[in-house]
Chains A and B, each alone.
Chain A
Amino acid sequence: MQFRLEKRPEPSKLMLYVTPVASVLLTMLVGAIIFSLIGYDGVGAVREIFLTPLTNSFKWQDLGVKAAPLIIIGVGLSIAYRANVWNIGAEGQYVMGGLAATGVALATYGMTGWWILPLMMIAGIAGGAAYAAVPALLKTRLGVNEILTSLMLTYASVQLIYYLVRAPWKDPMGMGFPQTRRFAADALLPNIIPGTIVHLGVPIAIVVALIAWFVMSRSVFGYQMKVVGAAPHAARYGGFSENKTIWLALLVSGALAGLAGMLEVAGPFQRMVPGFPTNYGFTAIIVAFLGRLNPLGVILAGIVMAITFVGGEVAQTTIGLSSSATGVFQSMMLFFLLAGDILVRYRLKRVIPAQEARA
């Protein structure tokens, strides 16, 4: 018996929104079954990973802090992916944004003033955008695939951190540990809720997503991104330049990743360390797709992804589940989502061999 995928004439609008939710539920169900089968408390694992972070109010601050960079980067990526520009190197742009902001923080060390943080923010945005400009240039001038260049530049950016924190930016008080000094008070993000770890980056993430949603749904820019992605020929015919779209997509996604890098280094990290790249740039790819490439959806997806991270640690402390389990759950979620997408856009059709049909 053979099957063939046949494109549906019009994918169901309802199903497009149901699949992300269904994939999260399926992940919980299948996860519970798999972990039970290999001898763990499967139901407990799902409860601790997906529910405890929501029901324990102590965990909300963690969710906000963990989700913020995922949302900011995810929003940028969703804009680029809408235009069929595959920026896989958000992690590198995040790092460069963080480094640029660190540069400002160290250069202004010993100074005070309200202007330091905004300057760091501009530096972070510029750093991320500049790093994304490299794949844009290579793609538009030489036709080099942006997936490869943006991904490989990520590794270069990590080496740049190692170089900077070991020599020129090394903390004079750090016992030789490769890290920069702790930023001065005016270069640190203020906490917006006293007594918690919730910093200014959390509301910024929401504002960024709302602005992006408005721009994508109401402006010519948003229309251009969507048309170039969905129907390149029609877009060209309509006068939208493909190269210009590639530039815009990479610069916007790079700038937002850079902003996230600035917020992380000035918020939770408070200094640049070799451990600064924590895969937010890669995880945000899942967030962008889980959020249906819609900035509002990305907010929800960012929170779901943060839940799995925070919950994964809860599961380790409460039921002794290995840390790899978190990865398994996240991967399952993306798998079900992509598989679901195929079935929303295509239908499975049984191929009836010719002779059988004749008989």
Chain B
Amino acid sequence: MTITRRNILKIGGAAAALPLLGSRAFAQSEPLKVGFMLIGTVNDNGWNFGHATGAKFMKDALGDAVAEPTIVENVPEGPDCERVLRELAQSGHKLIFATSFGYGDYVIKVAQQFPDVKFEHATGYQRSDNVATYNARFHEGRAVCGTLAGHLSKTGKAGYIGSFPIPEVVMGINAFVLAARKVNPEFTITPVYISTWNDPAKEADAARAMIDQGIDVIAQHTDGPAALQVAEERGIVGGFGQGADMSAFAPKAQLTSIIDNWGPHYVEAAEAVIAGTWTSGDRWPGLKEGEVVIGPYNESIPADVVAAAEAVKNGQIDGSFNIFTGPINDHTGAEKVPAGVTLTDAELLSMDWYVEGVNPPA
């Protein structure tokens, strides 16, 4: 036998499986092992918390059909995540969720070595036979938040703490300011990119700096509640929970929250793997399907403003309203989308331009 990648994997795989044979031989339908790889910790009260909640939801819904989900925290976007993915695949996990954008290259690479394991990459764009992608239409929630901001902001200026200028983030900024400008045509937003998904100190610093420059509403596309806590402390109009309800950290400042409800998707994916019907593809549900949920509104918000926000929410649910329907100008004022035309999903997923009202970061 020559030494090839395949043979080494075979030998190694056989060796790794040996001790398990005893128990495997008798258990025909043993519970499905599902692994989750997170970029932060489950107690970040935001993005990662949302995925952990989804994992628990899956376990509760499927009971003995799935094993207690395995969650690996604090996995950096780099070669370290490749090792974790292999570790999960080798230890018998047949369904693995990789929940950060930067895992993409490595998911594809490891998936080639484990054709019988299904991988799902959140927010990614690279797929293969056993790698699916899934995401949520967060920008629909951003349109609701932007409507609130347009009504409530006194300075007409919002700050937006982003991680990286990837389409998913750019889309959220654009949806937010488009909605705000439908209420207040002078509304502007200033994004700041902090090059990380989770660094409470950096998030708080960025929030303070922007408040000092006159913004009174803040939104963030990072994982934790740090920016909201600053908003609470400085007494500005407010901000929004991202990924989960963060009102515990900012009872006055959280106007509402965009809650990621991954649970139903995790149940569906696990059921498909158990039934053997899982196929690769891209899933991108939103408010309508209940994967994006708008949390409770702060009781300080006037009823007519809540009604306006609800109208935007319900319009997106019944399909009568789409935030990315023209006319839309880019940040220089040139027309980008003509009146009546709606951007397609493909156009959204490659969005690299800002709409009017965004002060593009240097």
Contact = CB atoms under 8 A, between A and B. Distances in A.
A268 B109 CA distance: 12
Contact of B76 (A178, A194, A197, A275): A275
B112 interface: no
Question: Which are the 10 A-B pairs with shortest beta-carbon distances?
Answer: A268-B79, A195-B5, A195-B8, A323-B74, A323-B73, A275-B78, A316-B72, A275-B77, A176-B166, A274-B195
B41 interface: yes
A195 B78 contact: no
Contacts, number: 98
B134 interface: no
27 contacts: A56-B16, A58-B90, A166-B165, A166-B193, A175-B350, A176-B167, A177-B164, A178-B195, A194-B5, A195-B3, A196-B8, A197-B82, A273-B77, A273-B78, A274-B195, A275-B76, A278-B80, A313-B84, A316-B70, A316-B73, A317-B84, A317-B87, A317-B88, A322-B73, A323-B41, A323-B72, A323-B74
B91 A318 contact: yes
Contacts of B84: 313, 317
Given A196-B8, A273-B78, A278-B76, A313 B83 contact: yes
Given A162-B195, A274-B195, A177 B101 contact: yes
Contact of B102 (A57, A270, A275): A275
B31 to A, nearest CB: 16
Contacts of A162: 195
A109 to B, nearest CB: 18
A184 B88 CA distance: 30
B12 interface: yes
B280 interface: no
Contacts of A57: 12, 15
B87 to A, nearest CB: 6
Interface string A298-319: 0000000000001001101110
Contacts of A273: 77-78, 102
B341 to A, nearest CB: 23
Contacts of B41: 322-324
A276 interface: yes
B313 to A, nearest CB: 28
Interface string B31-70: 0000100000100000000000000000000000000101
Contacts of B4: 194-195
A66 B80 CA distance: 9
A269 B72 contact: no
A166 B165 CA distance: 9
Interface residues of A, number: 36
Nearest to A316: B72
Nearest to A264: B79
B9 interface: yes
Contacts of B72: 313, 316-317, 323
B8 A278 contact: no
A195 B7 contact: yes
B38 to A, nearest CB: 9
A152 B69 CA distance: 41
B352 interface: yes
A238 interface: no
A320 interface: yes
Given A66-B83, A175-B125, 15 more contacts: A58-B15, A58-B90, A62-B83, A175-B166, A175-B167, A175-B352, A176-B165, A177-B101, A177-B166, A178-B165, A195-B4, A273-B77, A274-B195, A316-B70, A323-B73
A182 to B, nearest CB: 8
Contacts of B78: 268-269, 273, 275-276, 278
B332 interface: no
Nearest to A162: B195
